[in-house]
Chain A
């Protein structure tokens, strides 16, 4: 019996080899120019010449059609997926010989992980899928995710536009092998300090340069009625505890600028192998916490900060309660957000503020953590021979046609390109514009093509006039933010949380908040006790494990 099986297998192998030999040779697509640059700040806008880049070579007409299932994280979670008659399906079928089946992933990481894990357990992972890094590393260990190093050469355009950032690629490399495609995640340096210029002018103050200045301005904003309404309804600084997980432990990134002034922003000191540790072990971390406590004691910070949610925080500044804050540029300056503030305070004006310096002259607005949207390719898909088709599809998404179709819809229908090659909606009916709520399903895959190019940024963050005729340009805020000091902490992204992460983070954060609120005395003795508490929860093991990972991925040397 075994012999017959062996003979059958061998016959199949030989037959496969013959078939493969008879198949037409795959044509390597030529690499066209890029639709735009990868750097959000320095690269020039695309030119007409760039827009007319050569297309990749189409696959031979007789090539069989491949079925590719793609699980994607949609750009607008509450909108529908692309409709059945979406132009992209037909183009992908005609030009790439691919029947694309799209599945929109759930909107939270927990739900996404549950869906991927269930599919993995039943060996029914899709061909290409969006996956969070923790789940991804487990799938790699289980052998369910394919290595992609070989595929990169089959998608030269996308490799250049999406996978040329070495530090981001490290997020998907295990033991020197690349097991995922690290698409650009969120833009770095989007959140920074801003201050109410109209309040500064009214009170005759200057933007603070040092932490002491900051406290003085905050006091004036709180107690000197900067809005002139005769009510005690303003605060020097507004914030909330933002983020979850180990890397946002403590009082969160909205207070990173305080820790930055003391040279200890974020959870980790990633400067070098020798200095690597959790920042809580640095005495400056306690001093920064003392400063936040002072802000709280002096009542210059919105007292609800420990319990506020993001929406509530944003309602506060839109309602004129805040003089300074650490905010996302788009959340602040996009018309859809700013209109409420503008309606309430037509003469109000937020301006970027250089982060104040600490006692040793240090300052940082926050951390740069380059994150990635990881797309993995299932081993099953590779085993079924779908690798080349997947590479073809991903490469098309990065070339001119795919980039504009997925990012902005159909040219002439949903957008136009102006003389400089930028996206314009002039002359497009309102309901057809790529920004209209009706057309959101057409650009659900935009996150698979966006690379923070000039074309995208200018299209997404449009300048407009405020009620009193002032020009409001969200990108001007972003540009100003990128010139502020930030500390690169991308390596923090590869540090796996400990098994008792929930307890660890809760202990870490609750104690910091209690110190700030005065519920626990903040002294050197109590701080040492706090650090000992972290050690009893395994902080030293967490550090040792983190260092090992950081060294192996090259984030710390």
Chain B
């Protein structure tokens, strides 16, 4: 097999493109690195004018992480976030997948009417107050359901998934039906196994959305014991009064700067870990869902 010899122009182009991409990578990693450095550096060891970018291994201090991980508020909030995220994604997928599949079936009676009804709240969002009234009316205030159910089906995700299902060859479904499969069997045994990219992509969208749940939580969860990690993180980041106005605080034995940085780092860590695992599916799924043949 012959390989094409690259010209100098091609090589130069590749180098420039890679340099550009590396510079973007550095620009994205640097803030994360800085946050990490702040989180493990005791303030009194820093002798430069500002927080150093480069770590001196001799002065690493993981006290802020120890404090956060042993603090009841942090553990409770992490548990709440995990419940909201796992429960939320489960509900999201259980509702989004069947609806998207049903709407992708062109023989579905009243399909256009249903799609129109789906699009109306997508285009004309009622806003915060009506949603609050509904949540309050169903007596969901102070329950996990209050932050899970209002966004149970995201219309954008639904349309992307519907579009993906529509792009699957009809012949596969027809073959399954000839073998005697009903709708649910077609969905479970034919469509879903072929839909891993879109399922993981949409699942990731939902996952990130629930992990970052903040506004609905402060609106609907009055009980502090139910509040998720982003709410606590916000409280920690704004807690300059820890050291400013009172002598005591919830994290009094570590530098407030380090506590803040450590809480930011710990909160984003799960998402940072998950993304690379499903990055391949993510790109593929987004493209497939967005193209209609």
Report yes or no: B219 in contact with A77, Cβ–Cβ below 8 A: no
Report yes or no: A440 in contact with B50, Cβ–Cβ below 8 A: no
Among B79-87, B236-244, B275-283, the one that faces the other chain is: B236-244
Report yes or no: A104 in contact with B51, Cβ–Cβ below 8 A: no
Report yes or no: A121 in contact with B132, Cβ–Cβ below 8 A: yes
Contacts known (A81-B224, A107-B235, A118-B132); A315 close to B51, Cβ less than 8 A: yes
Q: Which of B47, B128, B236, B253 contacts A78 (CB 8 A)?
A: B236
Report yes or no: B239 in contact with A460, Cβ–Cβ below 8 A: no
Interface centre among B76, B235, B248, B256 (most CB of A within 10 A): B248
Please name the residue on chain B nearest to A309 by beta carbon.
Answer: B240
Report yes or no: A344 in contact with B219, Cβ–Cβ below 8 A: no
Report yes or no: A107 in contact with B249, Cβ–Cβ below 8 A: no
Report yes or no: A121 in contact with B249, Cβ–Cβ below 8 A: no
B73 within 8 A of A: yes
Would you give the shortest CB distance from B94 to chain A, in whole angstroms? 28
Contacts known (A315-B257, A318-B43, A440-B248); A118 close to B129, Cβ less than 8 A: yes
A65 within 8 A of B: no
B136 within 8 A of A: yes
Report yes or no: A437 in contact with B232, Cβ–Cβ below 8 A: no
Report yes or no: A78 in contact with B252, Cβ–Cβ below 8 A: no
A328 within 8 A of B: yes
Report yes or no: A311 in contact with B240, Cβ–Cβ below 8 A: yes
Contacts of B247 in A (CB 8 A): 334-336, 435, 460-462
Q: Which of B239, B252, B260 contacts A336 (CB 8 A)?
A: B252
Would you give the shortest CB distance from B122 to chain A, in whole angstroms? 22
A535 within 8 A of B: no
Report yes or no: A334 in contact with B243, Cβ–Cβ below 8 A: yes
Would you give the shortest CB distance from A221 to chain B, in whole angstroms? 15
Contacts of B253 in A (CB 8 A): 437
Report yes or no: B246 in contact with A76, Cβ–Cβ below 8 A: yes
- One digit per residue, 1 when the CB lies within 8 angstroms of any chain B CB and 0 when it does not, for chain A 304-348 equals 000000111001101101000000101100111101100110000
Please name the residue on chain B nearest to A337 by beta carbon.
Answer: B243
B231 within 8 A of A: yes
Would you give the shortest CB distance from A546 to chain B, in whole angstroms? 29
B46 within 8 A of A: yes
Report yes or no: A78 in contact with B250, Cβ–Cβ below 8 A: yes
Contacts known (A77-B239, A334-B247, A436-B248); A114 close to B44, Cβ less than 8 A: no
A93 within 8 A of B: no
Report yes or no: A114 in contact with B235, Cβ–Cβ below 8 A: no
Interface size on B, as a range, is 35 or more
Interface centre among B219, B256, B260 (most CB of A within 10 A): B219
Contacts known (A80-B72, A115-B218, A312-B50); A122 close to B129, Cβ less than 8 A: yes
Contacts of B132 in A (CB 8 A): 118-119, 121-122
Q: Which of A81, A118, A340, A460 contacts B43 (CB 8 A)?
A: A340
Tell me, in angstroms, the Cα distance from A311 to B239 when the chains sit together: 11
| In the complex, chain B residues 218-276 whose Cβ is within 8 Å of any chain A Cβ | 218-219, 222-225, 231-232, 234-236, 238-253, 255-257, 260
Number of interface residues of A (CB under 8 A): 51
Would you give the shortest CB distance from A391 to chain B, in whole angstroms? 23
Tell me, in angstroms, the Cα distance from A393 to B26 when the chains sit together: 57
- One digit per residue, 1 when the CB lies within 8 angstroms of any chain B CB and 0 when it does not, for chain A 271-286 equals 0000000000000000
Contacts known (A124-B136, A319-B48, A336-B249); A106 close to B222, Cβ less than 8 A: no
Q: Which of A114, A318, A340, A343 contacts B218 (CB 8 A)?
A: A114
Tell me, in angstroms, the Cα distance from A78 to B241 when the chains sit together: 10
Report yes or no: A78 in contact with B244, Cβ–Cβ below 8 A: no
Contacts of B223 in A (CB 8 A): 103
A79 within 8 A of B: yes
Would you give the shortest CB distance from A190 to chain B, in whole angstroms? 8
Report yes or no: A80 in contact with B224, Cβ–Cβ below 8 A: yes
Tell me, in angstroms, the Cα distance from A79 to B250 when the chains sit together: 6
Report yes or no: B136 in contact with A76, Cβ–Cβ below 8 A: no
Report yes or no: B50 in contact with A115, Cβ–Cβ below 8 A: no
Contacts of A343 in B (CB 8 A): 44
Report yes or no: B44 in contact with A122, Cβ–Cβ below 8 A: no
B215 within 8 A of A: yes
Tell me, in angstroms, the Cα distance from A337 to B219 when the chains sit together: 34
Tell me, in angstroms, the Cα distance from A335 to B241 when the chains sit together: 14
Report yes or no: B231 in contact with A321, Cβ–Cβ below 8 A: no
Contacts known (A107-B234, A114-B219); A315 close to B249, Cβ less than 8 A: no
B133 within 8 A of A: yes
Report yes or no: B47 in contact with A344, Cβ–Cβ below 8 A: yes
Report yes or no: B218 in contact with A77, Cβ–Cβ below 8 A: no
Report yes or no: A315 in contact with B242, Cβ–Cβ below 8 A: no
Would you give the shortest CB distance from A493 to chain B, in whole angstroms? 19
Report yes or no: B244 in contact with A331, Cβ–Cβ below 8 A: yes
Q: Which of A77, A117, A344 contacts B238 (CB 8 A)?
A: A77
Report yes or no: B224 in contact with A104, Cβ–Cβ below 8 A: yes
Contacts of A114 in B (CB 8 A): 128, 215, 218-219
Contacts of B5 in A (CB 8 A): none
Contacts of A335 in B (CB 8 A): 247
Would you give the shortest CB distance from B24 to chain A, in whole angstroms? 23
Tell me, in angstroms, the Cα distance from A186 to B246 when the chains sit together: 12
Report yes or no: B246 in contact with A460, Cβ–Cβ below 8 A: yes
A213 within 8 A of B: no
B292 within 8 A of A: no
B49 within 8 A of A: yes
Please name the residue on chain B nearest to A229 by beta carbon.
Answer: B47
Contacts known (A76-B250, A440-B250); A315 close to B46, Cβ less than 8 A: yes
Interface centre among B76, B133, B240, B249 (most CB of A within 10 A): B249
Report yes or no: A315 in contact with B50, Cβ–Cβ below 8 A: yes
Would you give the shortest CB distance from A88 to chain B, in whole angstroms? 16
Tell me, in angstroms, the Cα distance from A80 to B48 when the chains sit together: 36
A75 within 8 A of B: yes
| In the complex, chain B residues 48-71 whose Cβ is within 8 Å of any chain A Cβ | 48-51, 71
Tell me, in angstroms, the Cα distance from A462 to B252 when the chains sit together: 15
A233 within 8 A of B: yes
Contacts known (A121-B129, A440-B250); A78 close to B243, Cβ less than 8 A: no
A297 within 8 A of B: no
Contacts of B49 in A (CB 8 A): 233, 316, 319, 321
Please name the residue on chain A nearest to B233 by beta carbon.
Answer: A78
Would you give the shortest CB distance from A423 to chain B, in whole angstroms? 11
Report yes or no: B244 in contact with A337, Cβ–Cβ below 8 A: yes
Contacts of A344 in B (CB 8 A): 44, 47
Contacts of B250 in A (CB 8 A): 76, 78-79, 437, 440
Would you give the shortest CB distance from B208 to chain A, in whole angstroms? 21
Tell me, in angstroms, the Cα distance from A195 to B161 when the chains sit together: 64
Q: A318-B43, A331-B245, A461-B247 are in contact. List 6 more A-B contacts (CB 8 A).
A: A78-B235, A81-B225, A108-B234, A122-B129, A330-B246, A435-B247
Which of A's residues lie within 8 Å of B, judged by CB? 71, 75-81, 103-104, 106-108, 111, 114-115, 117-119, 121-122, 124, 186, 233, 310-312, 315-316, 318-319, 321, 328, 330-331, 334-337, 339-340, 343-344, 434-437, 440, 460-462
20 contacts between A and B (CB under 8 A): A76-B239, A76-B241, A76-B249, A78-B232, A78-B239, A81-B224, A103-B224, A107-B239, A121-B129, A122-B136, A186-B245, A233-B49, A311-B257, A312-B51, A316-B49, A334-B247, A337-B244, A437-B248, A440-B249, A460-B246
